[in-house]
A and B are shown apart, each in its own frame.
Chain A
Amino acid sequence: MSDLSFVRSEMLEEKAPPPSSVGVVGWARENLFDGWFNSILTVASLGAIFFVLSAILPWVFSPTWNGTSLNECRDILASAGGEGGHGGACWGVIRERWIQLIFGFYPAELYWRPILAFILLGVSLSPILFAGSVPGKLIWLSAVYPFVFPWLLWGGTIWAPFGALLGFVFGYGAYRLLAPVIGGLGALIAAIVVPIIWWLVLMGGFVSFMDANLGIGIEAVESRKFGGFMLSITIGVVAIACSLPLGVILALGRQSDLLIVKSLSVGFIEFIRGVPLITLLFVASTLLNIFLPPGTSFDIILRVLIMVTLFASAYMAEVVRGGLAALPKGQYEAADALGLDYWKSQRLIIMPQALKISIPGIVSTFIGVFKDTTLVSIIGLLDPLGLSQGIRANAEWNGIVWEIYGFIAFMFFIFCFSMSRYSMYLERRLRTDHR
Chain B
Amino acid sequence: MSDLALDRTVDRSHMSVSDKVAIEISGMNKWYGAFHVLRDINLTVYEGERIVICGPSGSGKSTLIRCINRLEEHQEGSIVVDGTELSSDLKNVDKVRSEVGMVFQHFNLFPHLTVLENLTLAPIWVRKTPRKEAEETAMHYLEKVKIPEQALKFPGQLSGGQQQRVAIARSLCMKPRIMLFDEPTSALDPEMIKEVLETMIELAEEGMTMLCVTHEMGFAKEVANRVIFMDAGQIVEQNEPNEFFDNPQSERTQLFLSQIL
Contact = CB atoms under 8 A, between A and B. Distances in A.
Contacts of B112: 352-353, 356, 430, 432
15 contacts: A328-B106, A330-B104, A330-B106, A331-B108, A333-B108, A334-B102, A334-B108, A334-B109, A337-B71, A338-B174, A340-B122, A341-B94, A344-B125, A432-B112, A432-B156
Nearest to A342: B90
B58 interface: no
B63 interface: no
A13 interface: no
B125 A348 contact: yes
Interface in B167-183: 170-171, 174
A428 interface: no
Interface string B142-163: 0000000000001011000000
A339 B98 contact: yes
B126 A340 contact: yes
B31 interface: no
Interface string B81-115: 00000000010001101101110101011111000
A349 B109 CA distance: 10
Q: Chain A contact residues (Cβ within 8 angstroms of B): what range? A: 20 to 34
Given A352-B112, A432-B112, A338 B104 contact: no
B104 A333 contact: yes
Given A337-B69, A338-B97, A353 B104 contact: no
A200 B68 CA distance: 49
B170 A338 contact: yes
Interface string A339-364: 11100100011001100100000000
Overall SS of chain A's interface: helix
Nearest to A430: B112
Contacts of B64: none
A339 B97 contact: yes
B102 A340 contact: no
Given A340-B126, A353-B111, A433 B154 contact: yes
A96 interface: no
Nearest to B122: A338
Interface in A148-171: none
B9 to A, nearest CB: 33
B110 A349 contact: yes
Contact of A432 (B94, B104, B111, B174): B111
B121 interface: yes
Contact of A337 (B95, B97, B106, B110): B97
Overall SS of chain B's interface: mixed
Contact of B110 (A331, A339, A344): A331
Contact of A330 (B98, B108, B156): B108
B174 A339 contact: yes
Contacts, number: 70
Contacts of A339: 94-95, 97-98, 122, 126, 174
A394 B246 CA distance: 101
Contacts of A336: 69, 71, 97
Contacts of B101: 337
A410 to B, nearest CB: 38
Given A348-B125, A434-B154, A334 B174 contact: no
B157 A337 contact: no
B180 to A, nearest CB: 8
A67 to B, nearest CB: 56
B55 to A, nearest CB: 21
B71 A333 contact: yes
A325 B118 CA distance: 22
Nearest to A331: B108
Nearest to A432: B154
Contacts of B100: 337
A136 to B, nearest CB: 16
Nearest to B91: A341
A140 B157 CA distance: 36
A277 B147 CA distance: 55
A344 B126 CA distance: 9
Going nearest first, the 8 A-B pairs with the smallest beta carbon separation are: A339-B98, A334-B108, A330-B108, A338-B122, A339-B97, A337-B102, A432-B154, A433-B156
Given A339-B94, A353-B111, A353-B112, A348 B121 contact: yes
Contacts of A348: 121, 125
Interface string A302-337: 000000000000000000000000001011011011
Contacts of B125: 340, 344, 348
Contacts of B156: 432-435
Contacts of B174: 338-339
Given A337-B71, A341-B90, A344-B125, A433 B111 contact: yes
A241 B106 CA distance: 37
Interface string B63-77: 000000101000000
